[in-house]
Structure 1
C-alpha cells in the first residue's frame, strides 16, 4: 500500500507543480519535476522525512487507510488522471499534514506551542501525531517545542518521554514538557529557579514588635518568638505579600513602609534558591486573632525583650537583621520603597524597589 500511495502521489502532484501551484510555498515538502520517475522519488523522500521516527506500528496503522479515506473524497487510483481531473489538487500529502500534525501556534523565538485543548483523545492517535509532528517541525526549521499535558491526558507523558521530550515543570493541573530540535545547545529557558518569602517587622508606638510562635518549626526555633513570615503567591507583590501574611497569621492590619533587607540562599527546598525579604510594616490595628492551623501563639513583645532571645543573639544573620531594623527606626538607615513604573521595553506595569533619601521624605531622614 505504501508504494501505491507514492506512485499515485506523484501523478497527482506534478500537474499542480507545473502550474506553479506549490500550495505551501517555500515550506512545501514536495517539489515535483516533469519526469514521472523524478517525482516518484521526490514523493518517497518526502514521506520518509515526514514519517522519520514513527514507530513501525504507527506506520502500519497510517497506511491502512486508503488515500480516499484520508482525503474524504471519491479519489481512486484507477481514475484516468489519478484523481487530479476532478479539480482536487490539495493532494493526499496535505491531508496527512492536516490529520496528523498536532495543532500548535508559533512563538516569537522560532518554536511552537502545542494547543493543549486540541490534543488527540487516545494514546495511539497521540503517538502517531507526535511523531509526525516532530518530523514536520524539524523539516521546516522549528526550534523548541512546548507540550502542555493536562492531568486528564497524563497517560500521554510516557509517550512524549519516549520521543525525547524533557520535563520542564509541573503544576496541579498539568505537566509542561519540552523538546529542543536543533543539534546545538538547548536555548529554552529553564524552570523557575527561586522561591520568594517575606517577613514582616511590625512595631507599634510603644516599641512593641508583633511576634508569633509557630505550631510546626525546627528544634532550633522551639519556643522562640519570631516575625510573621510566609511565601508570596503567584503574581503577588512583595509588599502586599508581607501585609497579607501578617494579617493571615495574626489578624493585625498593616501598611507597607519599605524593604529593609533581603537574604539570598541556595539549595533550599527542592534544591531551589531562596529570596527572603524583610519588610518594615506599620500597624493600623492592634487586636490579635491567630490562625490556629499554623500559629501556636502571637503577641506584642517589647523590642528589647525580642532582641535578647538566644536564637537572635547567637546567630549573626538574625542579629544583623535586628541591627538594621533598629537603625531604620532611628532614621539612620533607608530601606527600599516600592514605586509603580511602566517600561517601554514590554509595556508592562511593574514595581521598582529603590532607596529614596531626600530629606523631605517622611519615611526616611537618613540623608
Structure 2
C-alpha cells in the first residue's frame, strides 16, 4: 500500500524550541491523515538514530500528530531493532524497504492494515473453431494431475486487469490477444500467507494462433475443442471451473454480457484508470 505525503517538508533536521534550545530531530513530511513519514536514505548509527527518534516522537506528540511511518531501505537494516524497541511495529515490506509504524495518541489506532488481497486473472481464449487455449503446468497444485486449464496468473502492481490477462496469455503460450470482458470474479480467503484472493475470469479474442509455450512454468499448451475441455472430469468436480464453462457457453451462445474496461478520470489522481462495467446495457440505456 502507499502512504500519501505532502510535497513540502514538514520538519527540518534541527528545531529551536522557545527560541533557546535547539533539538535535533528526524526529517519528515506530513501525510494526508494527520501523521508524518520519515523516509531515511543515508547511513546512520543506531545510537544516534535512537536519540533522534526519541526527540522526534516527543515533538510530534506536542504537535498532535497521530501515526508515524518510518521507511527503512534494506541498507539501513541496522536501525530496525532500535525502532522496534521504541514501540514501532512492522506494517509491510517490499524487496528494497521495510515500513514501520507507530501510533502516538492514546485513542484507538486507525492506521490501515497492510494490503489484504492478491489479485489474479484467468484467461479464456476461444478461436473461431470453438477451440479453447489450454495449458498444463510444471508446478503448483495442477502439476502432475493431467488437467488442461486456462492460462492464469497474478496481476502486477500498477497493472490493469485486462493488461494482466493479455500478458499472462502471451507469457505462457506466445499467443497475442485482444481483451473482451470480465465474465465473473471469485473472492476467496486464507490463501497465500493468510491473505485473501480476488480472481477475475476474463474472455479474450486471439490475434495469433501459433503456440510458443513458456518453458519455465508450462509443461504443454494446445488449442483444445471446447467440448473436450469442458468434459474433463476435474471440471465437473471443481465447481468454479464448472461455472466458468457455463459462463463461456452463455457468452458464445446466448449473448451473456460481462464487464469491459472503460477509462475514467479521477479528481484525486492525474492518471486514467479503468472502471469495469456492462457497456452493452449501459450504452443502450443512455
TM above 0.5, yes or no, is: yes
1:100-111 map, 5 Å: 100-111=24-35
Q: Which residue of 2 aligns with 1:171?
A: 94
Question: Is 1:132 paired with 2:55?
Answer: yes
CA displacement 1:103-123 (0-9 Å, x = unmatched): 0011222111113225x5211
- Structure 1 segment 27-38 matched on structure 2, within 5 A: 30=18
Aligned position for 1:271: 194
Q: Pick from 145, 151, 167: which aligns with 2:74?
A: 151
- Report how far residue 335 of structure 1 moved: 0.4
- How many residue pairs get aligned? The number is 270
Displacement after TM superposition at 1:235 (Å):
0.3
Provide, for residues 72-121 of structure 1, a one-character-per-residue CA deviation record: whole Å limited to 9, x for no partner. Answer: xxxxxxxxxxxxxxxxxx53x12x2xxx3100011222111113225x52
**Alpha carbons 1:221, 1:311 under 8 Å: kept:** no
Q: 1:239 aligns with which of 147, 153, 162?
A: 162
Q: TM-score, normalised by structure 2?
A: 0.90
CA deviations 1:166-189 (Å, max 9, x no partner) are: 100001100000001000111111
For 2:149, which of 226, 229, 254 is the aligned residue?
Answer: 226
Deviation of residue 190 (structure 1)?
1.1
TM-score where L is the length of structure 1: 0.70
Higher relative contact order (CA 8 A, sep 6+): 2
Q: 2:133 matched to 1:210? A: yes
Q: In the TM superposition, what is the alpha-carbon distance from 1:323 to its structure 2 partner?
A: 0.2
Determine if contact 1:112/1:145 at 8 Å carries over to the other structure: yes
Instruction: Give the SS at the match of 1:357.
Output: helix
Deviation for aligned residue 1:29: 5.0
Q: Which residue of 1 aligns with 2:258?
A: 335
Q: Is the 8 A contact 2:39 2:72 kept in 1?
A: no
CA contact (8 A) 2:71 2:99 kept: yes
In the alignment, the residues of structure 2 paired with residue 284 and residue 219 of structure 1 have an alpha-carbon distance, to the nearest angstrom, of 27
Provide structure 1 residue ranges, at least 5 long, that are not aligned to the other structure: 1-26, 31-89, 362-367
Deviation per residue, 1:177-215 (Å, 9 max, x gap): 000100011111111010000010001000000000000
Quote the Cα distance in structure 2 between the aligned partners of 1:165 and 1:172: 20
C-alpha separation in 1, matches of 2:105 and 2:16: 20
Distance in 2, Cα, partners of 1:219 & 1:344: 44
Instruction: Indicate conservation of the 8 Å contact 1:336/1:354, yes or no.
Output: yes
Structure 1 residues 258 and 200: alpha-carbon distance in aligned structure 2, compared to 1, 3 A threshold: same
Change (3 A) 1:359 1:195: closer
How many angstroms apart in 2 are the aligned matches of 1:358 and 1:143?
46
Corresponding residue for residue 258 of structure 1: 181
Q: Deviations over 1:291-329 (max 9, x none)?
A: 100000000000000000011011222111110111011
Structure 1 or 2: larger strand share?
A: 2
1:113 paired residue among 32, 37, 41: 37
How far residue 342 of structure 1 moved from its aligned partner, in angstroms, is 0.8
Mind listing any 5+ residue stretches in structure 2 that lack a counterpart? 1-14
Deviation sequence 1:201-247 (CA, Å, 0-9, x none):
00100000000000013268711100000001110000010000000
Q: For the residues of structure 2 that align with 1:188 and 1:110, how far apart are their CA atoms?
A: 11
Q: More helix per residue: 1 or 2?
A: 1
Spell out structure 1 runs of 4+ moving beyond 6 A: none
